[in-house]
Amino acid sequence: MADKPTLPTPENTQPANGDSAVGRRTFVKAAGAATAAAAALSSHGPFVRKAKGAETKLRYGWVGPGSRGFRLLQRHAQHIDIGECVAICDIYEPNLQQAIELFGGKPTGYTDYRKLLEDPNVDAVFVTVPLFVHYEVTKAALEAGKHVFCEKSLVFTPAEVHGLRAVHEANPNLVIQVGLQRRYSQFYQAAKKLIDDGAIGKVTHIQAQWHRNTSWRRQATPEMEDQINWRLYRRYSGGLCAELMSHQVDVADWFIGAYPTSVTGVGGIDYWKDGRDIYDNIQLIFEYPGGEKLQYSSITTNRHIQGRRVPGDGCREVILGTDGAIEITLIPYGEGMRFRDPMKEKMGADTGGGETWKAGATVGTDTLEQGEGVPLVPNLRDLNGDGVGFIEKEFEFAKRWMYNKGIMSPSEEKDPEYVELESFMRDVLDGGRPRSDVEVGLQDSIAVMLANLSMDEQRKVYFSEIEQMGKDGEMTRAAGAEKADN
């Protein structure tokens, strides 16, 4: 077993004390009082104020500037000129001060998120706390009349699905966006346009994986274990389904244009036997209304991707259609998408009269026959060496083919995380609707819950079952919570 990592950063909004159950009790111990106070503040939505100068800016508060939250603040939010951070909340003092200093000490600091919600200068709230408190903070923010950006997964339990829908229906003018940034990626948007324009025929299958070679564990003292490594325990976390799969099942929902009807899978704690109770590997199959299927894999013992030529996180989606395929691979050098043709004409199959991507002046038949496809975005590794001319010619042919289809060749001009934050601010200011809105977020959360339930109960789970789960008001998870708490 690999050594534990060193030099951890205390995680998100967990306090530095020895109470192993401190997360929920400390963070939301006065939820009843918070709800009452929030109701008094609630209205149809906050008035977005004019900052100094002519330009309207969104004044926002940030709850939970831990590892994920601080990264978003540092890399992206502080550089978005249509937003102004006016308040930050964290119950761990080092996290709080680090985030405030990022903005030159200007934001007001809070250790109680309810106090931040009472701040009249705050129009919207970014929620980047651990998953098991997403609902409490998001619900209180909406009831206080604040627009909300919440990291995925949006909610943790079936009861929270029903609860948040009710809160949203009571506050329909408030913007709710979920942190599913692939919907804000130019690569994925171009792939979606290819699919919608029929460039690969009917999508029948999607294969997705997110493979890593890491324990996912961070070094922590015994008294800080739950606070630092909350992702490893079911009472706080949805495991690999919530942290990784949620992104890719959302891509499948988006590309297929529907939500799943059932899921079946198998998972286990087969390698990292270190006290965790979330699975260290999962294999799942989601079925969709039109017969489409998503085959999903996430493991923590190897990050290899077949055909990968450069190192990186083993994250990929392959969209298989009757006339072609799209492959999207996240790697450090930004290779985004490939298109491959199954050569129906070569095999004598009926193409239905549609246009087939045939070999052109710079794409030899050998390339297509070998199933290699053509890069739609050049691999930067290939642009450093003797093969530059060939790659550029291949790329130009691919672009011309896409232009003939009415599709622009994608290139990531901005990080999708930056775009999603900026888009949230813009939607609040202009009255827009997020690409990853509340229903997208709730359906994504349902997929996480039911995937875990399928693996726990070793059965096929139907998505219609969620309607009867959690109706008694109990905030228990769909799977495993009782065992984990014993």
pLDDT computed for residue 406 by the predictor: 53
User: Are 22-181+418-438 and 184-412 equal in CATH topology?
Assistant: no
Which pLDDT score, from 0 to 100, does residue 338 have?
Answer: 63
> How do beta strands 338-340 and 147-151 pair?
unpaired
Q: Which residues contact 443 (CB under 8 A, 6 or more apart)?
A: 253, 259
Whole-prediction pTM: 0.79
Distance CA 279, CA 281 (A): 5
Give 117-143 pLDDT, tens digit per residue.
Answer: 999 999 999 999 999 999 999 999 999
The total number of residues written for the chain in this structure? 486
What's residue 369's pLDDT?
42
pLDDT at residue 386, as a whole number? 46
Per-residue model confidence (pLDDT) at position 329 = 81
pLDDT at position 383 = 43
Indicate the domain borders of the chain: 22-181+418-438, 184-412
Which pLDDT belongs to residue 378? 47
* Tally of CA atoms within 13 A in the half-sphere of 89 that contains its CB: 23
How far apart CA 197 and CA 341 sit, in angstroms, is 16
Kindly tell me the sign of the dihedral angle through the C-alpha atoms of 97, 100, 105, 111. Answer: negative
Of 386, 410, 265, which Cα lies nearest the Cα of 337?
410
Give me the residues of the chain with pLDDT under 50, please.
1-45, 49-53, 346-371, 376-391, 394, 475, 477, 479-486
Write out pLDDT tens, residues 258-282: 999 999 999 999 999 999 999 999 9
Q: Exposed, middle or buried, 68 (CB in 10 Å: 0-12/13-18/19+)?
A: middle
Whole-angstrom distance, CA of residue 258 vs CA of residue 261: 9
- Which superfamily does 184-412 belong to? Dihydrodipicolinate Reductase; domain 2 (3.30.360.10)
Residue with tokens 């604040």: 146
Tokens of 149: 């950006």
- pLDDT (0 to 100) of residue 307: 63
Of 316, 318, 310, 362, the residue nearest 339 (C-alpha): 318
Confidence (pLDDT) at 78: 97
Give the 3-state secondary structure of 109-130: EECCHHHHHHCCCCCEEEECCC
The domain covering 22-181+418-438 belongs, at the CATH homologous superfamily level, to: NAD(P)-binding Rossmann-like Domain (3.40.50.720)
Q: Is 262 helix (H, G, I), strand (E, B) or coil?
A: strand
Predicted local distance difference test score (pLDDT) of residue 304: 86
How far is residue 439's CA from residue 280's CA, in Å, rounded to a whole number?
A: 29
- What does the pLDDT look like over 368-387, one tens digit per residue? 344 455 554 444 444 444 44
**Would you state the pLDDT for residue 5?**
29
pLDDT at 215: 95
